[in-house]
A and B are shown apart, each in its own frame.
Chain A
Amino acid sequence: MAFELPKLPYALDALEPHISKKTLEFHYGKHHQGYVNKLNGLVPGSPFENADLEEIIKKSEGGIFNNGAQVWNHTFYFFQLSGSPKTSPGGALKSAIERDFGSLEDFKEKFSNAAATLFGSGWAWLVKNADGKLEIVQTANAGNPLRDGKTPLLTCDVWEHAYYLDKQNLRPAYIEEFWKVLDWDVVESRF
């Protein structure tokens, strides 16, 4: 069965003015769709013909890994964003963030720094380790923490295509906007 591009739960202009419609048209309509198309071109006849994305992320290499992980990463990224987000975490997630980072503000600062300093293309992640502890990790290119046995809770795409039309070289300005459309409701449900 071919992989499909999931339909976004919001309109392409829903994240304005923080993330532009034009950026989403390319990011979702061209990049995300492109990874789906390339994956569907590579999987038939490979050992991953009947695999789901998680199995591809954990076991594959090369083009199948790159495109499979990028399909998963982008779905995970887009589905945690909203034009009317819950702006801070509550409940058990809030407690865990305070336990492991001190405060929400401390966490956001550390996460923003991880996103800003990843050199080249990649992703910053908040993950839950096997022992339940929260951690911030960076992955290069298509990298995904599932491969290291960690559970992703939220992610920020820092490939230049995620922000170049809106912010050009100013990645930190994009990360500031990212926080304004991050829906903590979704992050809580993943936790």
Chain B
Amino acid sequence: MSFIQPELKYDYTALEPYIDARTMEIHYTKHHAGYTSKLNNAIEGTELDGKTIEEVLSVVSKFPAAVRNNAGGFYNHNLYWDVMQPGGSSEPKGELADAINAAFGSLEAFKDVFSKSAAGRFGSGWAWLLKDGNELKVESTPNQDNPLMDVSDVKGTPILGIDVWEHAYYLKYQNKRPEYIEAFWKVINWDEVDRRFKG
């Protein structure tokens, strides 16, 4: 049983002008599709074949680097597409809003912490909003690492994530990563973040 790249829930143009259609198409059809096929190649014929992606992430230390890199690339992009939506950001509600306020003081304060984490990740990687027990926290990880991996120093369940590999923003924003991060806040699907928070 191999992993299948989930279909995007919106068109490549849907996040314009914040994320351009050309970036979306290359990011989804080349980068994400590449991680998916390389992940399947890496696990074929191993004991990982047939495991869930979460199970794979939890044991990457025991396998070649191709498993770590591509399982991370597969999972991380799945999450990234799901936490974005066309038509503008919704707002966090209920227990999620309460948890954000409890951890960071306010939604604006949370965004500031998260944006700084995303901007400050040197090289390629991701910034995350994580659920760790009942606590929320912001951390970043290098390359395609992920807080569900046994190799990760940072632990927790990701409920929101931003890709800060240059491929996520270079065609539109070039060296201006902070402008891409600002744009990201315009397309957040907080209902999906909430679903992951409750899950």
Do B171 and A164 have beta carbons less than 8 Å apart?
Answer: yes
Apart from A119-B143, A160-B124, A164-B170, 12 more pairs, CB < 8 Å: A31-B175, A119-B65, A119-B69, A119-B144, A140-B123, A141-B122, A160-B165, A161-B174, A164-B166, A169-B26, A169-B30, A169-B31
- B34: which of A120, A122, A169 is its contact (CB, 8 Å)? A169
Binding site for B on A (CB under 8 A): 26, 30-31, 34, 66, 119-122, 140-142, 159-161, 164-165, 168-169
Assembled-state Cα–Cα distance A120/B30 (Å)? 15
Binding site for A on B (CB under 8 A): 26, 30-31, 34, 65, 69, 122-125, 142-144, 165-167, 170-171, 174-175
Q: Which residues of A contact B143 (CB under 8 A)?
A: 119-120
Q: Which residues of A contact B174 (CB under 8 A)?
A: 26, 30, 161, 165
Do A120 and B142 have beta carbons less than 8 Å apart?
Answer: yes
Assembled-state Cα–Cα distance A142/B166 (Å)? 15
Q: How far is the CB of A120 from chain B (nearest CB, A)?
A: 4
Do B167 and A160 have beta carbons less than 8 Å apart?
Answer: yes
Q: Which residues of A contact B170 (CB under 8 A)?
A: 160-161, 164-165
Write 25 A-B pairs (CB below 8 A) sorted by A numbering.
Answer: A26-B175, A30-B175, A31-B175, A66-B122, A119-B69, A119-B144, A120-B142, A121-B124, A121-B166, A122-B123, A140-B123, A141-B122, A141-B123, A142-B123, A159-B123, A159-B166, A160-B166, A160-B167, A161-B166, A161-B175, A165-B171, A168-B30, A169-B26, A169-B34, A169-B167
Assembled-state Cα–Cα distance A120/B144 (Å)? 8
Q: How far is the CB of A36 from chain B (nearest CB, A)?
A: 13
Assembled-state Cα–Cα distance A164/B167 (Å)? 7
Do B122 and A142 have beta carbons less than 8 Å apart?
Answer: yes
Assembled-state Cα–Cα distance A124/B148 (Å)? 30
Q: Which residues of A contact B30 (CB under 8 A)?
A: 168-169
Assembled-state Cα–Cα distance A84/B46 (Å)? 50
Assembled-state Cα–Cα distance A118/B167 (Å)? 15
Assembled-state Cα–Cα distance A160/B30 (Å)? 14
Assembled-state Cα–Cα distance A31/B174 (Å)? 10
Assembled-state Cα–Cα distance A165/B31 (Å)? 15
Q: Which residues of B contact A119 (CB under 8 A)?
A: 65, 69, 143-144
Q: Which residues of A contact B171 (CB under 8 A)?
A: 164-165, 168
Which B residue sits closest to A70, measured CB to CB?
B122
Q: Which residues of A contact B166 (CB under 8 A)?
A: 121, 159-161, 164
Assembled-state Cα–Cα distance A34/B123 (Å)? 14
Assembled-state Cα–Cα distance A5/B136 (Å)? 42
